[in-house]
Structure 1
Amino acid sequence: MDDRRKFSRIFFNANAYIAQSNIRWPTRIIDLCLNGALVERPPELNVKSPDLVLHFTLPSSDISLQMKVETSHQEKEWLGLRTQHIDVESISHLRRLIELNLGDTSLLDRELSLFIEQHRSGALKE
């Protein structure tokens, strides 16, 4: 893990889409953390677009998660997304998913506290 990274990432291979208004761009999630995701970069997406929302469904379930995101970094094939807002139900499911993959509840509790603190202060940076 990069020393600058504050949130543990889990590999998560899943179909998703990024939405802006009425437009949807299909993508694939590579990994997730409480503060965002790494996805395949949709070629048509303007990465500087405001009001992007990442949508995905947990595998083998009907549980859908969504989070308002902004671009944190980009490469030719990948797009790093930083969470700007996530609803309580989505973060609860995301927390559980990460907890099951990390196997360390205390680490995740610290990260969730950090996420809440940064969100309240408006300093959501990874």
Structure 2
Amino acid sequence: MKEKRRFQRTPFDGEAHLKAQGTLFNVEVLDLSLKGALITLPPGVTMAPGEACALNLLMEDSDIRIPLEATVRRTERDLAGLEFVRIDVDAMRHLRRLLALHLGQDEMLSADED
């Protein structure tokens, strides 16, 4: 099967919280890109495609939080694929830096510093 993704994905090791359905959940981010994330849903939580949510990433060993407004694109068993629909400038900068560090892309880091 041909890979359809346009954005490289990387694992995320930090803490993540999902605000959905008026509740805040701890979730695991299985992979992350500039445009979305794949997360595990807590037991008993179901989400539907098109549902709005907010994912907050907490960077390990720092006070940096990356707030990401998202929409559920797909679900399967206990997984949800999220598409980021709004990211502020600071959050995008932190997200780009995180991805560049994980993917070893120095050019992404230097472009971010210009």
Deviation of the 1:46 alpha carbon: 3.1
Q: Report how many aligned residue pairs link the two structures.
A: 108
The answer for the alignment partner of 2:112 in structure 1 is: none
For 2:3 and 2:84, how far apart are their aligned partners in 1?
20
Deviation of the 1:102 alpha carbon: 1.4
Q: Stretches of 4+ moved more than 6 A in 1? A: none
- Percent same amino acid at aligned positions? 28
The TM-score with structure 1 as length reference comes to 0.74
The answer for the alignment partner of 1:98 in structure 2 is: 99
Q: Which runs of 5+ in 1 are unaligned?
A: 110-126
Other structure's SS at 2:94 match: helix
8 A contact 1:14–1:30 mirrored in 2: no
Cα RMSD of the aligned pairs, angstroms, is 2.2
- In 2 relative to 1, CA 51–79 (structure 1 residues): closer, same or farther, beyond 3 Å? closer
The answer for the alignment partner of 1:25 in structure 2 is: 25
For 1:46 and 1:31, how far apart are their aligned partners in 2?
18
Task: Indicate the structure with greater helix content.
Answer: 1
Q: Which runs of 5+ in 2 are unaligned?
A: 110-114
The answer for the alignment partner of 2:10 in structure 1 is: 10
